Amino acid sequence: MSEGRTDFELLQAFSRQGDQPAFATLTRRHLDLVYATALRKVTDDGGAEEICQNVFATLARKAWQFAADDSLPSWLHRTTLLESKSWLRGELRRRRREQTAAELGTTMNTPEDQPAFRALVPLLDEALLSLREKDRTALLLRFCQSQSLREVGTAFGVTEDAARMRVQSALEKLAEFFKRRGFKTATVAAAAAALQHTAATTSAAVASTVVSAALKVAPPALVGLGALLARLASMSRVQTAVVCISLTAVPVGWQLNERHAAGEEVKQMQTQLRTAQNQHAGLQTEVERLRATSGRLEQPIAQANEAAIRAAESAQAFDTWKRNVRGLLTAADYRWDDDSAFVRIPKAILPKLSEWSDAIPFSPLGVEPYARELMGLTPSEREAVETVIQRGVAEADASVQETNQPVSGRVVAARRFVLSGTVGDAKISQDQVLAEVRNILGEERWPMVEVTLSEKRGGGVVNYNLRHRMFSQEYSKAVTVTIALGSEDRLWASCSISIGGMLGTVGAELSSFLPEGDPNRTKGADGFLSDGSVSLAIRQRIVAWLEKEATARLVRKEQP
């Protein structure tokens, strides 16, 4: 019946009921563990047997101290190590001390023919003590007591797979311990081999001897109440007084312990109270911040609401206006109120109105605003028309020829620019441009442009001269530009222009043609010849020449 009980149940039966068979079962169950550990430390069979007797005698005296969750194999392992050290000090003081110091050295210089795991044996118990109690117990049960993985799992209340994982993890930690102590090649297999090598099995005679010796030295208090009373009666007065004082001190100690626990609980409650107060203060601050944020958001929300109301009112007013305009546009009566900024006329009359008007729909800057509205051009259509016109102007202008002119007096430079395009070329370019413009506008809008190009003046049809009909005025084909010293010795650029027999002069200070960013640059270059008096090609060549002259004559060169 004792074989199936746990270690704690056997200890309880022995300590409370004096069940010696239970203690004998417990001793036989763990004797191999204690004997192997002692033999590993003292390397003497007799000494190992004596240490086993001392360990189990100690267990018999302290059996009542064990709790249900205590690990008996772990306790036996530590106690065996302590008893082994005591035995070594008492019996083999000098010789065993030197041998132990050599075995516990971290260099572990072992003969080459000695197996690798044997070098780990002197540090094996120290390595076991470095493990957690459950890991150490798992290794002791598996290797020192030769229990199966299922039995190890039963001892821990887990499955066989969980027991295997715990043993493997403990062996890995054991190998890491050996590596930290200088054994760089220590492996899990070497650690397991060291444990298996040091395991030992005791005979039944040794077990009987150890049990008998342990029970002999066990105090009478552990074998029944009558023995306990006899023991108390045989004590001296001093011993009895000590026992009484001890018994009296138990409630006092219990009270002190209770008071200490209460004090700790009060401190914990005070800490929790301070933490709660801090949290409350933080939450109060956050609430105040949120209130302030809400106050700041009220005004933008009100403004947004007002803007939404105004937008709704504007949308409603716009819808009303659209309905009114739509009503005017679709009404059978073409007569509108005098307050209206617009008049309504049929599309059929638009070409006739264009014929009577002197307005030109296109200019060097592009399509005139009135023409965009009159013909209902979209942005893409307007851009396409302007691109065609600009290309036609460039083709009509052909190339520009430049020739230097003589200088005298205060004139420091002069150059003549002549447009080399011919009338025939302009006519061909014009016809192509007009065809493309007609294709863009379509047959419905083209008559409004065509009538301005076929207008009769002076008894004859005006020729399709692109440069005349596409722009508001003729421009000069030849321009002479001079750079001369003016007042305060400033350089001025002047252009002599002749248009239809009329002469004109345009001028600007030469410093206005300096590069952008130059501190000496003045204003005036942007409006120079921008009135259409010269072609774009000539203006671009004149401006480029003046910029070059301004840079050469006005920009200071750095001295080497």
The span from the CA of 80 to the CA of 200, in Å, is: 14
**What's residue 283's pLDDT?**
92
163-199 confidence digits (pLDDT tens): 888 888 888 888 888 888 777 777 887 778 877 777 7
Phi, psi of 378 (to 5 degrees): -80, 160
**Whole-model pTM above 0.95?**
no
**What's residue 458's pLDDT?**
34
Mean pLDDT of 263-280: 90
**What's residue 287's pLDDT?**
93
Place of tokens 């379509």: 442
* Banded model confidence at residue 290, pLDDT cuts 50, 70, 90: very high
**What's residue 317's pLDDT?**
92
Place of tokens 């312990």: 257
CB 522 within 8 A of CB 503: no
* Banded model confidence at residue 59, pLDDT cuts 50, 70, 90: confident
The span from the CA of 218 to the CA of 56, in Å, is: 10
CA distances from 514 to 57, 415, 531 (A): 113, 19, 21
Indicate if the pLDDT at residue 300 is higher than 80.
yes
CB 535 within 8 A of CB 475: yes
Specify the range with the lowest mean pLDDT, choosing from 70-79, 275-284, 354-363.
354-363
Indicate if the pLDDT at residue 291 is higher than 50.
yes
Mean pLDDT of 411-436: 72
Percentage of the residues of the chain whose pLDDT score is greater than 70: 74
**What's residue 21's pLDDT?**
85
What token pair was written down for 226?
């009558």
Place of tokens 């070409």: 351
369-389 confidence digits (pLDDT tens): 878 887 888 999 888 988 887
CA distances from 321 to 63, 331, 376 (A): 106, 15, 21
* Banded model confidence at residue 460, pLDDT cuts 50, 70, 90: very low
* Alpha carbon 555 to its chain's center: 53
* Alpha carbon 552 to its chain's center: 57
- 150 or 455, greater pLDDT: 150
Q: What is the end-to-end Cα distance of the chain in Å, rounded?
A: 116
**What's residue 433's pLDDT?**
78
Amino acid at 113: D
Cβ burial of 22 (10 Å; 0-12, 13-18, 19+) is buried
For residue 539, give the 3-state DSSP assignment. Answer: helix
Indicate if the pLDDT at residue 410 is higher than 70.
yes
* Banded model confidence at residue 434, pLDDT cuts 50, 70, 90: confident
Cβ burial of 417 (10 Å; 0-12, 13-18, 19+) is buried
The span from the CA of 248 to the CA of 142, in Å, is: 45
CB 542 within 8 A of CB 417: yes
Percentage of the residues of the chain whose pLDDT score is greater than 90: 7
Burial per residue of 65-98, b for 16 or more beta-carbon CB atoms within 10 angstroms, e otherwise: ebeeeebbbbbbbbbbbebbeebbeeebeeebee
Other Cβ atoms within 10 Å of 541 Cβ, number: 21
* Banded model confidence at residue 309, pLDDT cuts 50, 70, 90: very high
* Alpha carbon 154 to its chain's center: 49
Of 14, 243, 450, the residue nearest 6 (C-alpha): 14
Burial per residue of 257-291, b for 16 or more beta-carbon CB atoms within 10 angstroms, e otherwise: eeeeeeeeeeeeeeeeeeeeeeeeeeeeeeeeeee
CB 370 within 8 A of CB 359: yes
Mean pLDDT of 453-478: 45
- Alpha carbon dihedral 218, 42, 85, 169, in 10-degree steps, equals -90
* Banded model confidence at residue 146, pLDDT cuts 50, 70, 90: confident
CB 73 within 8 A of CB 141: yes
Query: DSSP readout, 42-68?
Result: H--HHHHHHHHHHHHHHHHHTGGG--T
CB 480 within 8 A of CB 498: no
